[in-house]
Amino acid sequence: MAFKFEKLIVWQKAIDLTSLVHEVSLKFPREELYILSSQIKRAADSVALNIAEGSTGQTNPEFKRFLSIALRSNIEVVSCIYIAKKRNIISEIDFENIYNKCEEILVMINGLIKSLK
């Protein structure tokens, strides 16, 4: 692996999240294509992208800043699935799968932030 972020388990989990969110968003109704579907995919992608961007060639304070952005994007994904659930466009199983993945990533990002202090 050539890049530092590729070794980070939290980045690997974030990549898994992007795949899961993409798969679930394909089930969304057509009218959500440019609304909630787009929003949740961008938020999920942002988690992995910010972890990667912050990890390479940055100072610890700068890396922590990118991790904080990734954390907020992760929370945005959770908010999106609550909206999807409220609109009856996501199954309980899909909701729980994404929620659990986000919760796991949340704990890992927080742990990584604390380790950089």
Mean pLDDT of all residues belonging to the chain: 95
- The whole-number average pLDDT for the span 106-113 is 97
Please state the domain count of the chain.
1
Q: Which residue has the tokens 């609109």?
A: 87
Q: Are 113 and 67 in contact (CB under 8 A)?
A: yes
Note the pLDDT of residue 106. 98
Note the pLDDT of residue 115. 95
For the domain that residue 94 is a member of, what is the CATH number?
Answer: 1.20.1440.60
Is residue 1, in this structure, part of any structural domain at all? no
User: Higher model confidence: residue 117 or residue 111?
Assistant: 111
Q: Which residue has the tokens 């952005």?
A: 69
pLDDT tens-digit profile of 30-58? Answer: 999 889 999 999 999 999 999 999 998 77
Q: Are 48 and 17 in contact (CB under 8 A)?
A: yes
Q: In the Cβ-directed half-sphere of 27, how many Cα atoms lie within 13 Å?
A: 14
- 95 burial type by CB count under 10 A (0-12 exposed, 13-18 middle, 19+ buried): middle
Note the pLDDT of residue 79. 98
Task: Provide the CA 72 distance to its chain's centre, in angstroms.
Answer: 9
Is residue 76, in this structure, part of any structural domain at all? yes
Is residue 94, in this structure, part of any structural domain at all? yes
